[in-house]
Amino acid sequence: MNIKSLITTGIIALMPQMIMAQGNSSFSQYKAKRQYKFDNYKEQRRKEFEEYRRKRNEEFASFIRNKWGNFASKPVTPKPKDETVPPIVIPKDNIPPINPNPKPISFEDVTPAPKPKPQPEPIKPIEEVPITTVQPSVSFRFFGTTDKARFDKKNCIRLSSLEENSIADAWLAMSEETYTNLIHDCLSLRKKYELCDWAYLMMLRNVAEIIYGKTTNEAVLLTAYLYCQSGYQMRLAIDGQKLCLLIASRHHIFEKPYYEIDGAKYYPFLHDGESMNNRVQICTASFPKEKSMSLLVPAAQKFAINYNGERLIKSERYPNVAATVKINQNLMSFYNTYPTSMLDNNIMTRWAMYANTPLALDVAKQLYPQLKSLISGKTQLDAVNILLNWVQTGFMYEYDDKVWGGDRAFFAEESLYYPYCDCEDRTILFTRLVRDLLGLKCILIFYPGHLAAAVCFTNSVDGDYIQLNGRKYIVSDPTYIGAPVGLTMPNMDNQLAKVILLQ
């Protein structure tokens, strides 16, 4: 074969690879062009969002310069105080007979379960500002949880005074792109830790105080700015030489003064020990699409874990029914800040908020396998009786006035943590266990001075019951100590009772 033939043959042999290489190159170029177009589109969209948000903040700043008025705070609403009904203990050998007895409850006395609404969102999505170099960040802690958010402290602003123009100028400075990634990261952390509105607000304050210092006017303004840009409804107030943040809430918060503006209630967001004067100056400007805060806790909060000791909880009637549990002190710290409230001026909604809060994931992981093994293979009635007696006899009863100096309802984990609990705390824990472990519907029954529960079984169970929507809910009282399912505590007047539905 001559040289020409060899060359021709080699070229033909290499053609598939050459074509493939050319194809790969063309595909790579196509991908690069597509990526370039997408990046350009994304950047253009980000700039449009930023421009829209900047204009809204310019408008808001112009209102800050002008829209202020003098307001007097409304009086504090004390927590409703009922007479306290002491627990009753049934001797083991003297349990009354259980018969199918209906307990009349009118439908007007039924409180529906409060339903969580979607959390507020920014007026436009907060897109990251692309940074070619590593952007500085600030590290902070909230409820024992350490994280960070991007912010360069060289972009800090200082308020020259608390005059309206000074506050408006500072607001405009914060609305520059140098603060955008800080907002973006805070919102990402809200999602990461599944923070409810109250936990998110507390986190924002910690972020602002790491940047500007605790209780400074600049820290208050940054908290207000981050909160507002996240979609929440707030107002700024001037109390002498102090700038204050007022938060709008769907809930009526007990034992907190508030200011009423355009029909909405605004509560001062202060540190413990701080207070505001009765009459202050408030900026009445509203931000587009702002939404009030909710105090519902629709998801388990994912704070860092910090255990301190383990607790053994045992049933008296069923000696083998015992479980150990450790409780996250960071969660307890959060619950200690939680303001007690009601929705729609209905005190009954208060207990539903606590009862509908999901159990912490780490507590469920510890406790539920132990309890499931103890009720495995049991009938629904036997399983509920086991859980009922475990709650009735595994905890020490004490009045809130004696322990806390006033009424205080517990989230389920708090009853597992603190040495004492009362009727409402036991009922909240019991209904949480029955719903999670057995999948049975529960309701709360409020008698003046007492809170009990009732369980909807899927098979026939005798006992005192409440008929709702064609279903029987069998009375189960965690404070009628030793009483099995189906018995109502003596002297409970069903004519005065009210039902609270649970999720």
Task: Write the CB contacts of 355 (distance below 8 Å, at least 6 apart in sequence).
Answer: 412, 427, 428, 431, 432, 444, 500, 502
Each residue's pLDDT tens digit, 157-193:
999 999 999 999 999 999 999 999 999 999 999 999 9
Computed over every residue of the chain, the mean pLDDT equals 92
Among residues 432, 454, 420, 442, the alpha carbon closest in space to that of 355 is found at 432
Task: Tell me how far the alpha carbon of residue 65 is from its chain's centroid.
Answer: 34
Q: Determine which of 49-58, 89-98, 244-253, 283-292 has the lowest per-residue pLDDT on average.
A: 89-98
| Fold annotation for 95-116+298-501 | C8orf32 fold (3.10.620)
pLDDT > 80? residue 33: no
- Write the CA distances from 388 to 301, 311, 420, 433, integer angstroms: 27, 18, 17, 9
pLDDT > 70? residue 12: no
pLDDT > 80? residue 10: no
3-class DSSP assignment, residue 342: strand
Beta pairing, strands 110-111 & 498-501: parallel
3-class DSSP assignment, residue 267: strand
Buried b / exposed e over 475-487, threshold 16 CB at 10 Å, is: bbbbbbbbbbbbb
- What does the pLDDT average to over 251-279? 95
CA angle 216, 221, 224 (to 5 degrees): 130
Asked if 44 and 37 count as a contact pair (C-beta separation under 8 A), the reply is no
Please give the residue that has the higher pLDDT: either 382 or 26.
382
Q: If pLDDT is split at 50, 70 and 90, which confidence band does 297 have? A: very high
Each residue's pLDDT tens digit, 240-259:
999 999 999 999 999 999 99
**Taking the model in full, what pTM does it have?**
0.91
CA distance 65 to 470: 59
Q: Is 469 exposed, middle or buried (0-12, 13-18, 19+ CB in 10 A)?
A: exposed
Each residue's pLDDT tens digit, 100-144:
888 877 667 899 999 999 999 999 999 999 887 788 999 999 999
**DSSP E strand boundaries for 241-390:** 242-248, 252-253, 259-261, 264-268, 279-283, 311-314, 322-325, 341-342
3-class DSSP assignment, residue 232: strand
Task: Write the CB contacts of 483 (distance below 8 Å, at least 6 apart in sequence).
Answer: 88, 90, 95, 392, 477, 489
- What does the pLDDT average to over 387-408? 93
Domain positions in the chain:
64-75+118-283, 95-116+298-501
Among residues 132, 228, 147, 255, the alpha carbon closest in space to that of 192 is found at 147
Each residue's pLDDT tens digit, 44-58:
888 888 899 999 999
- What does the pLDDT average to over 326-338? 98
CA distance 401 to 394: 21
What pLDDT shows up at residue 7?
A: 43
The residue with tokens 């204050």 is: 244
Q: Determine which of 1-5, 95-99, 363-367 has the lowest per-residue pLDDT on average.
A: 1-5
Among residues 313, 446, 338, the alpha carbon closest in space to that of 391 is found at 313
What pLDDT shows up at residue 101?
A: 86
- What does the pLDDT average to over 298-316? 97
Orientation of helix 3-64 relative to helix 164-174, angle to 10°: 170
Q: If pLDDT is split at 50, 70 and 90, which confidence band does 444 have? A: very high
3-class DSSP assignment, residue 113: coil
Task: Provide φ and ψ at 130, rounded to 5°.
Answer: -65, 130
- What does the pLDDT average to over 68-91? 89
Orientation of helix 197-212 relative to helix 329-337, angle to 10°: 100
What pLDDT shows up at residue 3?
A: 46
DSSP lists the bridge partners of residue 343 as: 346
Each residue's pLDDT tens digit, 460-494:
999 999 999 889 999 999 999 999 999 999 998 77
Task: Tell me how far the alpha carbon of residue 189 is from its chain's centroid.
Answer: 13
What pLDDT shows up at residue 135?
A: 87
